Structure 1
Amino acid sequence: MKLLTITGVGPGDPSLLTLAAVQAIQESTVVSYPVSILGGESLAEKIASKWITKDKKKLPLYFPMVDDAKALKSSWKLAGNHLINMIENGERVVFLSQGDISLFSTGSYLLKELEKYYPDCNIKLIPGVTSFSAAAAISKLPLAFQNEQFLVVPVPHSRKELKIILSEAALMKRVVVLLKLGKNWTWVQPLLKELNLLESSIFAERVGFSDQQIFRATDLSSKSRQYFSLLLIRQSWPLVMP
């Protein structure tokens, strides 16, 4: 039976890998993972390195971080071909993806590629811990109570869009997670300051890595931040609390 396992490896801390992810790696003969630069390092492989023993074959797959649709489609197709060739040769293949495999994940593109062109290949998905759930746990900020709403969204392209998102969130008692903050922080920080929301926001960067930073947004200047950064914004709390 042709089987590919796609597993999330969490945000960065190896101890946050699930038992299912560890078992999938241990039972594999080939460990595959994405790289954004040919010959470059893979964060997913680094996170799971403790369980990638010397007897495992490694298969880095190139996924360029570009907006070119032709280049993206080409990389997905090539990656799918490589994986299928390994599987047809009798290998037990696991593909590692940072965070959770269903949320802004390279693994999701692989899933759809293989479903379209190799429908007879069985694919098993193993979820992983997200960066924002890890950040919430570390900062001890509950993401949602009772009937509260919860929104996860990449930073929008304009101040106007973000103001609308935050205004609706306040009205609906909705907790907001802003992903892909990075260089956008240079304009997001002044907007939050204008809206008096810095005190209500938790900033997190490189969650799970040795150099992670998690603190209130009031402690941070407006200079550009690293790509792996996010914001948790809670504008209100339930009326009934301990």
Structure 2
Amino acid sequence: MTPGILYGIGVGPGDPDFITLKAVKTLNQVDIVFAASSAKNSHSQAAEIAKPHLKASVPIQILPFPMTRNRQTMEAAWQDNAETVIQKLAQGKNAAFITLGDCMTYATYGYLLRSIRKLAPHIEICSIPGITSYQAAAARINTPLVEGEESLTLVSGVTGGDKFREISDHADNVVFLKAYKNAGDIVTALDEAGMAEKSVGIVKCGLDGEQIVRNVRVFQEKTSEYWTLIISKKSGQGLES
């Protein structure tokens, strides 16, 4: 039996209307959809975004991924979930693995992709990009991410502002993703670089409860929500209220 094709699909940052036409077309052709959740629950925001575009007959299977930095635990989960996907593909079923934003930008899909390539290199894989949260956020505040000869630096905020401190002298425009737990330290790092006043926080962009935070120093006073990112520009142009 010829194995099915795996499609990695970025479904956008939150608004179901931000999903691409190619993603919708593909979702209407697959036999099963996989989505990731925390090992602590079975909720998938990506699945919620995709549901309006899926046929009722297409099942969604949630794959648990532990939120941990323990390498051994993570690798075991990647392999277990890869084997689950491969099993369906081996039955000749075409499958989609959906992920928030873009499937190649800080996405669980990247880890799954490597595991499947290692375990079943014969499987055909097609990756379909999606709109990222920071693209949507920049559009929401009507702010160009880069202009002219400027550069854009994309930073994970999981460990706070230290990575930015290493590169702050060379950064024109910066986006911090996954900023929620360490947003306070990120703002401190921006303050040290003289960029806090030229920064905007966007919480739950495109989702219910969306917030635009013009004074990012509030993140130093209270823990921000999970869906938090910060855009900072050295020039500050475009970030005016």
Q: Same fold (TM over 0.5)?
A: yes
Q: Deviations 1:1-21 (Å, cap 9, x if unpaired)?
A: 431101001111101000111
Are 2:27 and 2:54, in contact at CA under 8 Å, matched by a contact in 1? yes
**CA shift in 2, pair 1:83/1:221, >3 Å:** closer
| Residue 207 (structure 1) aligns with | 205
- Give 5+ residue unaligned stretches, structure 1: none
| Residue 125 (structure 1) aligns with | 127
| Residue 100 (structure 1) aligns with | 102
Report deviation, 1:42.
Answer: 0.8
Alpha-carbon distance in structure 1 between the residues aligned to 2:24 and 2:160: 41
Are 2:201 and 2:213, in contact at CA under 8 Å, matched by a contact in 1? yes
Alpha-carbon distance in structure 2 between the residues aligned to 1:114 and 1:91: 15
Counterparts of 1:64-83 in structure 2, within 5 Å, are 64-83=66-85
Alpha-carbon distance in structure 2 between the residues aligned to 1:18 and 1:32: 18
**CA shift in 2, pair 1:182/1:49, >3 Å:** same
| Residue 180 (structure 1) aligns with | 178
Alpha-carbon distance in structure 2 between the residues aligned to 1:20 and 1:221: 37
Are 1:139 and 1:215, in contact at CA under 8 Å, matched by a contact in 2? no
SS in 2 for 1:48: helix
Aligned residues: 234
Alpha-carbon distance in structure 2 between the residues aligned to 1:162 and 1:215: 20
Alpha-carbon distance in structure 2 between the residues aligned to 1:125 and 1:158: 30
SS in 2 for 1:27: coil
| Residue 226 (structure 2) aligns with | 227
- % of aligned pairs identical? 29
- Give 5+ residue unaligned stretches, structure 2: none
Are 2:180 and 2:225, in contact at CA under 8 Å, matched by a contact in 1? yes
Counterparts of 1:137-156 in structure 2, within 5 Å, are 137-155=139-157
Are 2:202 and 2:228, in contact at CA under 8 Å, matched by a contact in 1? yes
Report deviation, 1:237.
Answer: 6.8
Are 2:42 and 2:62, in contact at CA under 8 Å, matched by a contact in 1? no
| Residue 7 (structure 2) aligns with | 5
Q: Deviations 1:151-193 (Å, cap 9, x if unpaired)?
A: 1011374656533433322xxxx21111121121223334444
Report deviation, 1:218.
Answer: 5.0
Are 1:155 and 1:162, in contact at CA under 8 Å, matched by a contact in 2? no
Report deviation, 1:34.
Answer: 0.6
Alpha-carbon distance in structure 1 between the residues aligned to 2:183 and 2:152: 21
Alpha-carbon distance in structure 1 between the residues aligned to 2:30 and 2:202: 33
Counterparts of 1:160-171 in structure 2, within 5 Å, are 161-169=163-171
Q: Deviations 1:48-68 (Å, cap 9, x if unpaired)?
A: 110223211221111111111
Q: Provide the aligned C-alpha RMSD in A.
A: 2.1
- The TM-score with structure 2 as length reference comes to 0.89
**CA shift in 2, pair 1:7/1:159, >3 Å:** closer
SS in 2 for 1:35: strand
Alpha-carbon distance in structure 2 between the residues aligned to 1:180 and 1:210: 18
Which residue identity does 2:207 align to in structure 1? F
Alpha-carbon distance in structure 2 between the residues aligned to 1:158 and 1:43: 24
Alpha-carbon distance in structure 1 between the residues aligned to 2:144 and 2:127: 27
Q: Deviations 1:100-128 (Å, cap 9, x if unpaired)?
A: 11111111111111111100000000001
Are 2:187 and 2:216, in contact at CA under 8 Å, matched by a contact in 1? no
